[in-house]
Amino acid sequence: MLDRIRASIPALPPAEQRVAKLVLLDPRSFASLPVTELAERSHVSKPTVVRFCRSVGYDGLADFKLKLAGTVNEGVPFVHRSVDEDDKPADVIVKLIDNTVSALLKYRNDATSHAFERAMVALTEAARQGRKVEFYGVGNSGFVAADAQHKFFRLGVNTAALSDGHVQVMSATMLKAGDCAVMISNSGRSKDLIDASEIALRKGATLIGITASASPLAQLIQGAGHVLLAADHPEDFERYSPMVSRMLHLMIIDILTTGVALRIGPAQRPVLQEIKRNLRTRRYTQPE
C-alpha cells in the first residue's frame, strides 16, 4: 500500500502530494488521527484529504485508514523514515531499527532464490576446485568485502578481499575461468569496481554482483553465466554512512556463506572445530 502511494505522488496535484508525504512520514499516526488534524498537518483542506484517498484508489478516508492500519500493524512500517536534527534518542532508536528491519523483511519477500542458488553453485565449485573467490568493494562496501573474506577463508576457500582500486585492477587481471569475483557496491556506480568487473569478464571469471538492480554495475553483470543479487532499498546511496545497505549486504554474504558451507559438507567440519578450539586459547578467561 505504501509503495503504491509513493509511486502515485508524481501524478497527484500539489495539495494531495502533501497528504501523501504525510502518510509516508508516519503511517501509524495517519491511520489514527482525525481528519481535522490530518488537514492541518498537511496544510490542506479536509476535502483534499478525502480526495487524496480516492485518488489512490480507496472509497474514502475511512476505507483508506482501515486499510492503512492493517498494513502498518503487520509489523514495522515498510517505509524509510529519515532521522531529523531535533529527534530525541528514543526517536533515533525507533527510526533506525524500523528502517533496518523493514528493509530486511522487504528483501526477504523480494529475493529470488534461483539467483542465490546459481551464486552458491558457482562459489562452491570454485571452492572445491581450489579456484579464487575474491570480494571487491570500495569505501563502505570494502568493509563488507573484508567480512566476506573472513567468513569464506574459514571454509578453506582460496579467498581475498580487495578495496584498493589499483589492487583490484591487478587482481582482476590475474583471474581465470573458474574463478569467482564478487562485486559489492551500494550505488553500483563506482568507476574502480566497474573497471575491475570489465577486466574480470574479459578473463572469463564468473561475476556475482551485490548491488542496486538498475545500476551500471548490475547491467554489466546481467550476462550468461553471471549472477546478480539485487539489493534495492529506500536509503539514498549518497549518504555518508549508508547503514541499511551495509546490513543488507552483510546478510546476503551470510546467506552465501551458509549455502556454500552446506554444500561443501562435513569435510570442512573438523577444521572449523579445530579453529574454535585454538581460538579458545586466545581468551583471558575460560568458561567453567
Cell of 125: 565449485
CATH 1.10.10.10: which residues of the chain? 2-75
Instruction: Burial-class residue 143 by CB neighbours within 10 Å (0-12, 13-18, 19+).
Output: middle
Q: Where in the chain is the domain with CATH 3.40.50.10490?
A: 108-278
d(CA 136, CA 174): 14
Q: In the chain, pLDDT over 70 holds for what percent of residues?
A: 91
Average pLDDT over residues 184-205: 95
In the chain, alpha helices (H):
2-8, 14-25, 27-32, 35-42, 46-55, 61-72, 89-110, 113-128, 140-153, 165-173, 191-202, 216-221, 243-264, 269-280
pLDDT digits (tens, 9 = 90+) for 96-129: 887 788 888 878 877 888 899 999 999 999 999 9
Nine cell digits for residue 199:
577486466
Residue 222 burial by CB count (10 A; 0-12/13-18/19+): exposed, middle or buried?
Answer: middle
Instruction: Write down the CATH number for the domain with range 108-278.
Output: 3.40.50.10490
**pLDDT score at 92:** 82
What is the C-alpha to C-alpha distance for residues 85 and 75, in angstroms, rounded to an integer?
26
Residues in the chain: 288
Span 134-144, average pLDDT? 94
CATH number of 2-75: 1.10.10.10
How many degrees, rounded to 5, is the angle at CA 135 between CA 132 and CA 139? 155
Query: What pLDDT was estimated at residue 149?
Result: 97
pTM of the model: 0.70
Find the angle CA(258)-CA(260)-CA(262) to the nearest 5 degrees: 70
> In which element (H, E) is residue 210 found?
strand 206-211
The DSSP line for 176-193 is -TT-EEEEE-SSS--HHH
User: What is the spatial distance between Cα 147 and Cα 132, in angstroms, rounded to a whole number?
Assistant: 16
pLDDT band at 76, cuts 50/70/90? very low
What are the residues whose beta carbons fall under 8 Å from the beta carbon of 5, sequence distance 6 or more? 20, 23, 24, 56
Mean pLDDT of 148-168: 95
